[in-house]
Amino acid sequence: MTTDSAPTESYVFQGTINKKMPQVLRGKGVRMTIKKDGKVYEDVIDGVTGAAVGALGWGDEEVLPIINKAASENTYSFPSLIGNQASEDLAKFYIDSSPKGAFSAALWCCSGSESNENALKIIRQYQQERGRPEKIKIISRDTSYHGFTLGALSISNCSRFNAFKEICIPQELCLKMPACYPYRYQKKGETEEEYSQRLLDTLEKMIVDNDPNTVSCVIVETLPGSSLGTAPPPKGYLPGIRALCNKYDVIMMLDEVMCGTGRSNPNGKLNCWENFLDPKDAPDIQTVGKTLGSGYVTIAGVLVGPKIRQAFVEGTNSVFGAQTYSSHGFNCAVALEIQKKIARDGLTANIFKMGNLMGEKLQKALLSEDNIVGDVRGIGGFWSLEFVKDRATKEWFPVELDVGHRFQDICFQNGLNVMGMQGNADGHNGDISLLAPAFVITEKDVEDIVEIVIKSVGQLSKELKTEGKW
Ligand SMILES: Cc1ncc(COP(=O)(O)O)c(C=O)c1O
């Protein structure tokens, strides 16, 4: 650790306004150098890669030539007038890397929020194209997050939505079904399948009560992340949603912005839903982002299934509206080469194995000791810890203790970057911490992460006990 006297005043309108956020100086693989409050911290292990963004790890030496080539070969054009081959190639790559027949087209944009905005508009136009304009209601979930733009917030339900709900899409159109959250809501004695069925019965009732002729789509995060924290769906849940969507002629949309594109895929490929759904039960439309560009380019996308594409082709054969930087050739070219490298090096298989190893080690160590961790859950490269005051009752800590962020600070002081969050239990209460390391992690990195997490949990538990708060 070294110190310097750089000014701390900030000109960036983000996070804390009048004070510089911790600054990243550089990164190499799964480690980074960060300047915080004038001190430089070397070799911080990046346990969460920003917001589950990094797949390759930082400073990958193959990426620089990829970027140079993409910059020299791509000229900007406005995508709805003049296209580019890189966006075509990336779309074909994603389609070919997904189960056969799942997707047949893709739209590329610059953030997960935008991808969900675009998906909502595509679904709206789909219903118009096929002569069902009265289908306008969207069903998503309690305790969900789909992005920070107003449309994406309207289908979310969390503290970020609460802060802006008065200016969001009226909630009569954006209905919310219960969260799928086994740790808190699966009843004692209820099997996974029974819990799924209870949720599905509620969804079906919601569709019927709201007139199926007016219901357009159901949207869920395959594996929720920055909402309630990586709770894998129980057996039968996603297939059940698929069946209800088929029954009532409703679009099934999955948001895989955070959990997808290799982060939690069991087959060395891309989609998280392949853990839970047969290829024949693929979603009709899906959003992706984050690891697609692995932090090197700002790219996200909407994958469009054959049913939706066909309705457009048989209708107006055009997508209404466009954004200046959709299908950005440079971004697409870089993302494609990054994805090819991930596939070539078997990195998705690596993170699935290493991530599960990390999760199992944490479950074993943390849940067998007396500490503030109530649950350790996740799959592949995406895990979270949930903190509780009382394991038996699952009572959460008072909000003002800000346990999630306090845990994040302790981990940082111990040399590990994690993301602490609050509001997982009901949009306001509850503390979690997310882990989403780069796909390149080794067994040694896993051991280092696990060691620091265990140490930090012990430290925070002890502090809270000393303060009389636990
Ligand atoms: C499931 C999900 N959807 C959408 C988004 C929004 O993505 P972005 O922050 O790139 O706009 C996020 C961000 O965390 C997310 O977790």
pLDDT of residue 7: 61
Query: Which of 310, 344, 378 finishes a domain?
Result: 344
| pLDDT 10s digits, 73-89 | 999 999 999 999 999 99
Q: Looking at the structure, tell me whether residues 339 and 350 fall in a common domain.
A: no
| Cα 257 to ligand 1 centre (Å) | 6
Q: Looking at the structure, tell me whether residues 350 and 280 fall in a common domain.
A: no
Q: Looking at the structure, tell me whether residues 92 and 199 fall in a common domain.
A: yes
Which residue CA neighbors atom 3 of ligand 1 most closely?
146
Q: How many domains does the chain have?
A: 2
| Cα 147 to ligand 1 centre (Å) | 5
| Cα 321 to ligand 1 centre (Å) | 22
What residues make up the domain containing 351? 2-59+346-466
Q: Looking at the structure, tell me whether residues 164 and 269 fall in a common domain.
A: yes
| Cα 208 to ligand 1 centre (Å) | 30
Q: Looking at the structure, tell me whether residues 174 and 300 fall in a common domain.
A: yes
pLDDT of residue 9: 84
Query: Which of 344, 367, 386 finishes a domain?
Result: 344
| pLDDT 10s digits, 294-322 | 999 999 999 999 999 999 999 999 999 99
Exposed / middle / buried, residue 165 (Cβ in 10 Å: 0-12, 13-18, 19+):
middle
Could you identify the atom of ligand 1 that is nearest to the CA of residue 152?
Answer: 4
CATH code at 34? 3.90.1150.10
Q: Looking at the structure, tell me whether residues 277 and 152 fall in a common domain.
A: yes
| CA distance linking residue 65 with residue 251, whole number of Å | 41
Residues with CB under 6 A from ligand 1: 51, 111-113, 116, 145-147, 221, 225-226, 255, 257-258, 289, 300
Which residue CA neighbors atom 5 of ligand 1 most closely?
147
Q: Rounded to whole angstroms, what are the CA distances from 463 to 120, 413, 458?
A: 46, 15, 9
Q: How many CA atoms lie within 13 A of 155 on its CB side?
A: 25
Query: Which of 344, 377, 410 finishes a domain?
Result: 344
Q: Looking at the structure, tell me whether residues 240 and 331 fall in a common domain.
A: yes
Q: What is the DSSP string of 35-57?
A: EETTEEEEEEEESSHHHHT-SS-
Return the amino acid letter for 277. Answer: L
Q: Looking at the structure, tell me whether residues 182 and 237 fall in a common domain.
A: yes
Which residue CA neighbors atom 7 of ligand 1 most closely?
112
pLDDT of residue 6: 55
| CA distance linking residue 25 with residue 324, whole number of Å | 31
| Tokens 């008072």 found at | 398
Helix (H) or strand (E) holding 462: helix 443-466
pLDDT of residue 2: 47
Could you identify the atom of ligand 1 that is nearest to the CA of residue 111?
Answer: 10
Residue 395 is given by DSSP the state: B
Q: Looking at the structure, tell me whether residues 119 and 250 fall in a common domain.
A: yes
Contacts of 440 (CB under 8 A, 6+ apart): 29, 30, 56, 57, 347, 350
Measured in degrees and rounded to the nearest 5, phi and psi for residue 13 equal: -90, 75
CA torsion angle for 41, 42, 48, 52 (degrees, to 10)? Answer: 110
Q: Looking at the structure, tell me whether residues 231 and 275 fall in a common domain.
A: yes
CATH code at 102? 3.40.640.10
Return the amino acid letter for 168. Answer: C
Q: Which residues of the chain have pLDDT under 70?
A: 1-7
Could you identify the atom of ligand 1 that is nearest to the CA of residue 114?
Answer: 11
Which residue CA neighbors atom 13 of ligand 1 most closely?
147
Pick from 144, 146, 264 the residue to mutate for probing ligand 1's pocket: most ligand atoms within 8 Å of its CB: 146
Q: Looking at the structure, tell me whether residues 159 and 90 fall in a common domain.
A: yes
Q: Looking at the structure, tell me whether residues 93 and 224 fall in a common domain.
A: yes
- Single out the residue of 249, 252, 443 nearest to residue 357, CA to CA: 443
Could you identify the atom of ligand 1 that is nearest to the CA of residue 221?
Answer: 1
Could you identify the atom of ligand 1 that is nearest to the CA of residue 224?
Answer: 1
